[in-house]
Amino acid sequence: MLAAAPYACIDYIDVSAQMLELARAKAGTEHVNYRCEDARIAPLPEAEYDLIVTHFFLDCFDELDLEPLIARLSHAAAPRSRWLISEFRGNGWLVRALYFFFRLTTGLSTQRLVDHHPLLKRHGFCLVACEDAWHGLVASELWVCDAAKSPNV
C-alpha cells in the first residue's frame, strides 16, 4: 500500500504488540504511526481517513462490539472515503474450525460471523465491489462513503 501512496499518513492500530512489530519489520516506519491500542476505544480523528482497511478484523467481534466499532470508524471516515474489508464467509465446518482454533490460541470470544453489511450501510457506506476466494470462504469488499448519506456530513 505504501508503494501506491508513498506520501500517505497511516495509522496502524493493533492490540497485539507482536503484530505491530511484524508490520513494522515488513513496512518500515516512514509515514506509519504504529499504535498498540484497542480499536474499540482508541482515539480517532473526526472525518479524516480517506481509506480504512480492516482485513480479518470485523469478523473478530460479536454484535455488541461490532455496532459501536463500525460507528466509531465511520465517524473517522472522510466524505467519499473508501473502506476495504476482507473477511471469512459462511458457517461451514472449516470456518467453525478456524474460530475454534482462534478461540484457543488468541482468546477470541465471538463464535460466529456477524453480517457487517447492514451496519456499514446504516453508516453511509455503499458496497461497490466484492471478490470471493478459496471457494467462497473469503470475501474482499470495497465500500465507498456516500457523502450525502454519511452522518459525518
Secondary structure of 46-84 in the HEC alphabet? CCCEEEEEEECCHHHCCHHHHHHHHHHHHHHEEEEEEEE
Domain 48-153 architecture: 3-Layer(aba) Sandwich (3.40)
Q: Are strands 10-14 and 32-36 parallel, antiparallel or unpaired?
A: parallel
- Mean pLDDT, the chain, rounded, equals 86
pTM, entire model: 0.83
* Confidence at residue 130, expressed as pLDDT on a 0 to 100 scale: 96
How would you classify the pairing of strands 32-36 and 77-88?
unpaired
C-alpha cell, 91: 458457517
Q: Is the pLDDT of residue 103 over 90?
A: no
Could you state, in order of their start, the residue ranges of all structural domains in the chain? Answer: 6-38, 48-153
* Alpha-carbon span 125 to 147, nearest angstrom: 9
For the chain, what is the radius of gyration of the CA atoms? 16
What pLDDT, on a 0 to 100 scale, did the predictor assign at position 147? 64
Q: How far apart are the first and last CA of the chain?
A: 27
CA distances from 138 to 82, 91, 94 (A): 20, 12, 11
Question: What's the pLDDT tens digit per position in 8-49?
Answer: 889 999 999 999 999 999 987 788 999 999 999 999 999 999
Our measurement of the distance from residue 140's CA atom to the centroid of its chain's CA atoms, rounded to an integer in Å, reads: 11
Residue 106 clears pLDDT 50, i.e. is over it: yes
pLDDT the model gives residue 62: 85
